[in-house]
């Protein structure tokens, strides 16, 4: 049976089968992976039969102990306590936290449930921690946000690709086959597996990517590489940008970033000489308190070189989570309605309200962003109850110890999941839901292609789908049952109607067309004549602003929110490793993946280790102003001496996000995951 991998936004094609009662997987000839899978994809079926798989609801009794319960008891209890919280504190005292791995149907119905059944504005999702800065920059520059506004396969013909803050060799390995023929220019403080394959590795200090991008733009203009015709005909705002970049001569950028001016020149000349060139960014660019500006600075560089909207060249962002693209388009983001519409736009509210059969005035406005929502839990005026679908903020949120305290302060915490994640372990009610191979639905890949997820087998006895959970709760809260279908196809048909005319228009996409194998990229509007073919390549004729032009953004460098000090003299940066995924709730249950990467480590330069009395393989305490993480020392002579690295997949005292600071980007509300000030010292188990 043809379906797609449950992990990253590359959404590799897979073929599932059954042998001796076990689920088997092998890669398909789908274009993005062409018969390849990474280690996580090959082992994905293991999670379906994880020994601690959730198979029945659990409720916490008055003594604080969780016990098995029936579905009616669990849902009745949740509905009763939600009604009590709303009656005492108001509708916004109930909040919802979603996930970028939910199918389009689940993301859509979750947003509808929050705004109608709960009447709350307090809904956001973990994609705020992933793509929000790039999305804000792309919307401002191009008028629409799609991770890659071109098919992944276009990258195979590139001559030069600049990868800023991205490590696809570990985060989405099958993508690398499309990059093999290009000269890679990699911007990363670490010499990652991707950087090892680069023709040129630029190694800036954490938090200085914006200064580097300004220096690269300065060189592009000063050396005569500016595409003047393109800038004049297809963009606006260049003069204001140049007034900032003019002050960032490469030697100044070198002083701030540590990247030699000669390497900056080499990078720009490589991009400018190439007939087919791309600039791609990832989380390393975005997860900062200035992430939107940093992403915009790389967009500016691409626009100055005339790359976006040209065949064979372009700008894009490597979306992370499996449905990171679709997850932010259909209403689980606090400021959005389906179709990537703004919730403050009266016309958008009226269109969606008509589909839902309600008064537009009954729809709440925007609420708190993800971290602000978590930070407000259990406080005066903040949410008193939280429903979590497809997320594990105990591990994934910044300032994780504080977030854990806020979750513990709730009157009610409900978690829908298929494994007992660290967040589920805190819940008053846990609802066991179906996994990827047990449910139908659609996902949207990083290239904006809508894909069918197919069920090979039914969920285990005692397990329900998220759509069934939402239906059951909505009915108990007094909503008409027909408003919350449990059939994914019916939900998708409603999603199509709600998205019609929006930025992300799915109205011309149907299950039948997807079943027939059509490659449909949004926007794909419904037409009266021949079906719309979809839009694999955006911006070839015009950008999505009313005048058809892209916008430069006048941005300037500023320091990280937390500078190093004498007491905390090192930068810590976080990221992923090949064998684990996101908070690790799934992959840490796969023996083969744990054998490859089963515990947290801190990567340290040997000179730095000697300075602080550290040795290879010993345990160290990495501490910031917010807390400490215990990790095993791993020496790496390619790392900057002022920087340490930790993966964020691990629980307990190994949570890298015990360190991170929730300084928020003023536009995207993205926390500053990628840089904080720390000290590192030997650690011994307390007696």
Q: What is the pLDDT of residue 687?
A: 57
In the chain, the N- to C-terminal Cα span, in Å, equals: 55
Q: What is the pLDDT of residue 684?
A: 84
Separation CA 302–CA 512 (nearest Å): 38
Mean pLDDT across 52-61? 96
Residues 669, 372 contacting (CB under 8 angstroms): yes
Q: SS in 3 state form for 592-661? A: HHHHHCCCCEEEECHHHHHHCCCCCCCEEEEECCCCEEEEEEEECCCCCCCEEEEECCCCHHHCHHHCCE
**In-domain check, residue 262:** yes
Q: Is 125 in the same domain as 143?
A: no
Rg of the chain taking only CA atoms, in angstroms: 24
- Residue 4, helix vs strand vs coil: strand
Q: What is the pLDDT of residue 21?
A: 86
Q: Is 71 in the same domain as 93?
A: yes
Q: List, for residues 6-48, the tens digit of each pLDDT value.
A: 999 999 999 999 998 899 999 999 999 999 999 999 999 999 9
630: nearest Cα among 621, 640, 617, 643:
621
352: pLDDT strictly greater than 60: yes
Q: Is 112 in the same domain as 255?
A: no
Q: What is the pLDDT of residue 589?
A: 96
Residues 69, 438 contacting (CB under 8 angstroms): no
Q: Is 148 in the same domain as 220?
A: yes
Q: What is the pLDDT of residue 64?
A: 87
**In-domain check, residue 520:** no
DSSP per residue over 431-455, as a string? EEB--GGG--EEEE-TTSBEEEE--
Q: Is 449 in the same domain as 328?
A: yes
Residue 284's CATH number = 3.40.228.10
**In-domain check, residue 657:** yes
Cα–Cα–Cα angle for 396, 401, 404, rounded to 5 degrees: 75
Query: Which residue, 318, 333, 351, sits at the end of a domain?
Result: 318
Residues 338, 494 contacting (CB under 8 angstroms): no
Cα–Cα–Cα angle for 538, 540, 545, rounded to 5 degrees: 65
Name all contacts of 479-487 with Cβ < 8 Å and 24+ positions apart: 479/116, 479/117, 483/112, 483/116, 483/356, 483/357, 484/109, 484/112, 484/113, 484/117, 485/109
Mean pLDDT across 401-422? 98
Instruction: Tell which phi-psi region holds residue 21, choosing left (phi > 0), alpha (psi between -120 and 50) or beta.
Output: left
Separation CA 686–CA 653 (nearest Å): 13
Mean pLDDT across 432-453? 97
CB neighbour class for 612 (10 Å; exposed up to 12, middle 13-18, buried from 19)? middle
Mean pLDDT across 465-492? 98
Mean pLDDT across 76-99? 98
**In-domain check, residue 253:** yes
**In-domain check, residue 170:** yes
Q: Is 453 in the same domain as 398?
A: yes
Reported residue count of the chain is: 687
The mean-pLDDT minimum among 8-17, 55-64, 264-273, 347-356 falls in 55-64
Q: Is 124 in the same domain as 268?
A: no
| Verdict on whether the full-model pTM lies above 0.95 | yes
What the block records as the tokens of 187 is 């911007």
Q: What is the pLDDT of residue 526?
A: 97
Mean pLDDT across 188-216? 98
Q: List, for residues 111-145, the tens digit of each pLDDT value.
A: 999 999 999 999 999 999 988 999 999 999 999 99
Separation CA 234–CA 303 (nearest Å): 9
Residue 655's CATH number = 2.40.40.20
Q: Is 72 in the same domain as 196?
A: no
Mean pLDDT across 308-322? 94
Residue 357's CATH number = 3.40.50.740
Q: Is 331 in the same domain as 464?
A: yes
Separation CA 673–CA 661 (nearest Å): 7
Separation CA 525–CA 515 (nearest Å): 18
Q: Is 382 in the same domain as 298?
A: no
Query: Which residue, 487, 511, 544, sits at the end of a domain?
Result: 487
Residue 16's CATH number = 2.20.25.90
Query: Which residue, 286, 318, 350, sits at the end of a domain?
Result: 318
603: nearest Cα among 260, 193, 176:
193
**In-domain check, residue 145:** yes
What the block records as the tokens of 264 is 């900056």
More confident residue, 20 or 189: 189
Range of the domain at 677: 570-682
634 C-beta neighbours (distance < 10 Å), count: 17
Q: Is 282 in the same domain as 421?
A: no
Query: Tokens 């993480």 correspond to what residue?
Result: 629
Mean pLDDT across 190-194? 97
**In-domain check, residue 523:** no
CA torsion sign, 482 to 487 to 489 to 491?
Answer: positive
β-pair partners for 22: 19
CA dist list (Å): 387 to 80, 125, 335, 423, 570: 14, 11, 18, 11, 37
Q: Is 338 in the same domain as 308?
A: no
Q: List, for residues 502-553, the tens digit of each pLDDT value.
A: 999 999 999 999 999 999 999 999 999 999 999 999 999 999 999 999 999 9
CA dist list (Å): 399 to 206, 404, 658, 670: 19, 9, 5, 13
What's the chain's average pLDDT?
A: 97
Q: What percent of the chain has pLDDT over 70?
A: 100
**In-domain check, residue 65:** yes
Domain count, the chain: 4
Q: List, for residues 565-619, the tens digit of each pLDDT value.
A: 999 999 999 999 999 999 999 999 999 999 999 999 999 999 999 999 999 999 9
Mean pLDDT across 180-190? 97
Q: List, for residues 326-335, the tens digit of each pLDDT value.
A: 999 999 999 9
Q: What percent of the chain has pLDDT over 90?
A: 98
């Amino acid at each position: 049976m043809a379906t797609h991998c449950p992990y990253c936004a590359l959404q590799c094609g897979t073929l599932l089968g059954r042998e001796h009662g076990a689920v088997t997987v092998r890669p398909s000839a789908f274009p993005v992976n062409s018969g390849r899978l990474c280690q996580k994809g090959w082992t994905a079926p293991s999670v379906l039969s994880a020994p601690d798989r959730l198979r029945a609801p659990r409720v916490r009794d008055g003594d604080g102990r969780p016990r098995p319960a029936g579905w009616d008891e669990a849902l009745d209890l949740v509905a009763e306590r939600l009604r009590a919280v709303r009656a005492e504190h108001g509708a916004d005292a109930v909040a919802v936290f979603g996930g970028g791995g939910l199918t389009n149907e689940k993301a859509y119905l979750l947003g509808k449930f929050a705004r109608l059944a709960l009447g709350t504005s307090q809904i956001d999702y973990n994609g705020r921690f992933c793509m929000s800065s790039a999305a804000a920059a792309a919307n401002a520059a191009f008028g629409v946000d799609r991770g890659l506004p071109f098919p992944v396969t276009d990258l195979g013909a590139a001559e030069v690709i600049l990868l800023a803050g991205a490590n696809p060799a570990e985060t989405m390995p099958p993508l690398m086959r499309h990059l093999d023929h290009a000269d890679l220019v990699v911007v990363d403080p670490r010499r990652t597996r991707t950087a090892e394959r680069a023709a040129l590795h630029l190694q800036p200090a954490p938090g200085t990517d914006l200064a580097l991008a300004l220096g690269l733009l300065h060189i592009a203009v000063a050396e005569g590489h500016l595409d003047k015709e393109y800038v004049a005909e297809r963009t606006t705002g260049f003069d204001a940008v140049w007034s900032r970049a003019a002050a960032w001569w490469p030697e100044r950028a070198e002083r701030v970033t540590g990247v030699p001016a000669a390497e900056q020149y080499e990078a720009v000349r490589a991009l400018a000489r190439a007939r087919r060139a791309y600039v791609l960014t990832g989380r390393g660019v975005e997860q900062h308190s200035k992430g939107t500006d940093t992403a915009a600075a790389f967009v500016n560089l691409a626009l100055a070189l005339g790359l976006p909207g040209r065949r064979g060249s372009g700008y894009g962002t490597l979306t992370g989570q499996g449905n990171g693209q679709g997850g932010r388009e259909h209403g689980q983001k606090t400021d959005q309605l389906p179709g990537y519409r703004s919730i403050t736009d009266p016309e958008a509210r009226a269109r969606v309200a008509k589909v839902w059969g309600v008064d537009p005035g009954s729809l709440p406005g925007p609420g708190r962003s993800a971290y602000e929502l978590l930070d407000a839990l259990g406080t005066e005026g903040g949410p008193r109850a939280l429903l979590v679908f497809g997320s594990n903020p105990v591990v994934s949120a910044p300032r994780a110890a504080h977030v854990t305290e806020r979750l513990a302060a709730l009157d009610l915490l409900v978690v829908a999941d298929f494994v007992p994640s660290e967040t589920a372990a805190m819940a008053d009610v846990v609802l066991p839901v179906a996994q990827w191979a047990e449910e139908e639905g659609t996902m949207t890949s990083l290239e904006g292609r809508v894909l069918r997820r197919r069920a090979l087998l039914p969920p285990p006895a005692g397990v329900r789908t998220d759509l069934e959970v939402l239906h059951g709760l909505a009915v108990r809260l007094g909503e008409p049952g027909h408003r919350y279908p449990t059939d994914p196809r019916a939900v998708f048909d409603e999603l199509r109607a709600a998205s019609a005319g929006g930025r992300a228009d799915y109205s011309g996409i149907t299950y039948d067309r997807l079943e027939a194998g059509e490659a449909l990229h949004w926007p794909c509007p419904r037409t009266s004549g021949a079906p719309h073919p979809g839009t694999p390549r955006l911006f070839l004729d015009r950008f999505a602003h009313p005048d058809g032009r892209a916008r430069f953004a006048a941005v300037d460098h500023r320091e990280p929110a937390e500078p190093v000090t004498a007491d905390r003299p090192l930068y810590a940066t976080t990221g992923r490793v090949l064998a684990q995924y996101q908070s690790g709730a799934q992959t840490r249950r796969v023996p083969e993946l744990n054998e490859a990467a089963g515990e947290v480590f801190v990567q340290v330069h040997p000179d730095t280790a000697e300075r602080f009395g550290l040795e290879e393989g010993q345990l160290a305490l990495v501490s910031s102003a917010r807390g400490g993480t215990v990790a095993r020392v791993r020496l790496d002579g390619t790392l900057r001496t002022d920087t340490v690295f930790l993966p964020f997949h691990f629980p307990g005292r190994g949570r890298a996000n015990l360190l991170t600071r929730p300084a928020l980007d003023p536009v995207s509300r993205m926390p500053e995951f990628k840089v904080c000030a720390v000290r590192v010292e030997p650690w011994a188990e307390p007696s």
